[in-house]
Amino acid sequence: MIRDQFEIAGGTVIGTDHAKAGKNNQDAFCWIASDNAIVAVVTDGCSDAPHSEVGAKIGARIIAETVSRRVENYNNSITALLPTPYPPYPFWENTYSEILSESGNIVTALGVNKKQIILDYFLFTVVGVLITPWTTIIFSIGDGMIFLNTESEKNGPYPNNAPPYLGYKLLPKTPTSMDPEMLQFKILRAIDTKDPDSILIGTDGVENLVSFAEKNMPGKSEKVGPISQFWQDDRYFKNPDMIRRKLALTNRTVTKIDWESGKAIKEHGLLPDDTTLVVIRRKK
């Protein structure tokens, strides 16, 4: 069983800029591990939308559940799941349509002004991974980061800081400035499942986590540390809350007293944007 071959952990923290503005954490994550597949998703809600954390949480769950459910119907056929040389990709097209249908039903249930509901609640980016016994696929809509073994890749930023959001496809008319192909699932990697030892998917806030590896954590002499710690250190898999705790400690504000001057000195958190990651590694 594929879930017996890998272990998985994740966590999220609100960014300091969002906390100062009185906003919620607009990131979310979800994973589902079954006998035949592991699906993990991170989502990042639009900062300018008033309630995008709602859609991010619902969307992460819908996407993970839909991919997990539909992959069972393909009997884990590697040829069915892998993208063909040119779009459309049957599995991903059908899965995408079902995700839009499920999301649309929720929008309809929330009220008659569907356009405003979508703009307020359902704008979020997506990065996900699907692992089956034969093939592993990393997919996305919009910005985010992936780490496959020692290789990394960043999606974005997009012009005018306007990434594509899956929710745009729910609108009666998509924004004229947005290429329709950008609103489809983009296949970032499609590899044999025997190849990855570790996979990390994250929202764009992970970029700051990477760049501050050599900085001290607020109030500590301990460094933030390299991103590789999340798949190399056993503690992140033994304690399901450890990634969240690490991110929270990296982003806390600490006040110290300078006894010579008698002044209070604040050390602020290092992650201005909401930061979320899910890491998967092969069991040792």
CA angle 204, 236, 10 (to 5 degrees): 40
Burial 267-279 (b: 16+ CB within 10 A, else e): eebbbbbbbbbbb
Confidence label for 125 from pLDDT (cuts 50, 70 and 90): very high
E strands, the chain, are 6-13, 27-33, 38-45, 124-131, 135-141, 144-148, 151-155, 186-192, 198-202, 254-258, 263-267, 275-282
63 or 173: which carries more pLDDT confidence? 63
Give me the pLDDT at residue 85, please.
47
Average pLDDT (245-254) is 96
Nearest to 191 by CA among 281, 147, 131: 131
Residue 95 in this model has a pLDDT that exceeds 60 = yes
Average pLDDT over residues 101-130: 96
Q: Which residue has the tokens 């995408």?
A: 96
Neighbours of 23 (CB within 10 A): 17
Split at pLDDT 50, 70, 90, the class of 157 is: confident
pLDDT tens-digit readout, 74-92: 655 555 566 554 444 688 8
Choose the weakest-confidence range: 74-83, 179-188, 193-202.
Answer: 74-83
Q: Is the pLDDT of residue 248 over 50?
A: yes
Q: Which of 23-32, 43-52, 235-244, 254-263 has the lowest mean pLDDT?
A: 254-263
Question: 47: which DSSP letter?
Answer: T
**pLDDT at 180 (0 to 100):** 84
Q: What is the mean pLDDT of residues 204-213?
A: 97
How far is 38 from 68, CA to CA, in rounded Å? 7
Instruction: Report the C-alpha gap between 41 and 128 in whole angstroms.
Output: 4
What secondary structure does DSSP assign to 201-250, as a single string? EE-TTHHHHHHTTTSBPTTSSSB---TTHHHH-THHHHSTTHHHHHHHHH
Task: Render pLDDT for 131-156 as a digit per residue (tens, 0 to 9).
Answer: 999 889 999 999 999 999 989 999 98
More confident residue, 179 or 40: 40
pLDDT exceeds cutoff 80 at 61: yes
Cα 121 from Cα 119, distance rounded (Å) = 6
Q: Give the least confident one: 116-130, 159-173, 206-220, 236-250.
A: 159-173
Q: 280 versus 179: which is more confidently predicted?
A: 280
Mean pLDDT over each residue of the chain, to the nearest integer: 92
pTM > 0.85: yes or no:
yes
Peptide bond into 90 cis (omega under 30): no
Model pLDDT for residues 11-55, shown as the tens digit of each residue:
999 999 999 999 999 999 999 999 989 999 999 999 999 999 999
pLDDT at 83: 58
Q: Cα(179)–Cα(48) distance, rounded to whole angstroms?
A: 21
What spatial distance separates the first Cα and last Cα of the chain, rounded to whole Å?
Answer: 15
